[in-house]
Amino acid sequence: MKNKNIVVVDDDPGIVDSLEVMLEFAGYTITSFSKGSDLFSFLARGSADLILLDIWLSGEDGKEICQLLRCSPATQNIPVIMLSASRDLEKTAKEAGATEFLAKPFEMDVLLQKIELLTSEGTI
Encode pLDDT of 24-77 as tens digits.
999 999 999 999 999 999 999 989 999 999 999 988 899 999 999 999 999 999
pTM of the entire structure? 0.92
Query: Is the pLDDT reported for residue 82 higher than 50?
Result: yes
| Spans of all domains in the chain | 5-118
Arithmetic mean of pLDDT, 8-35: 95
Q: What are phi and psi of 85, to 5 degrees?
A: -75, -10
5-118: CATH topology is Rossmann fold (3.40.50)
Of residues 85 and 53, more confidently modeled: 53
What value does the CA radius of gyration of the chain take, rounded to a whole number of Å? 13
Tens of pLDDT, residue by residue over 97-106, are 999 999 998 9
- Give the rounded distance of the alpha carbon of 74 from its chain centre: 16
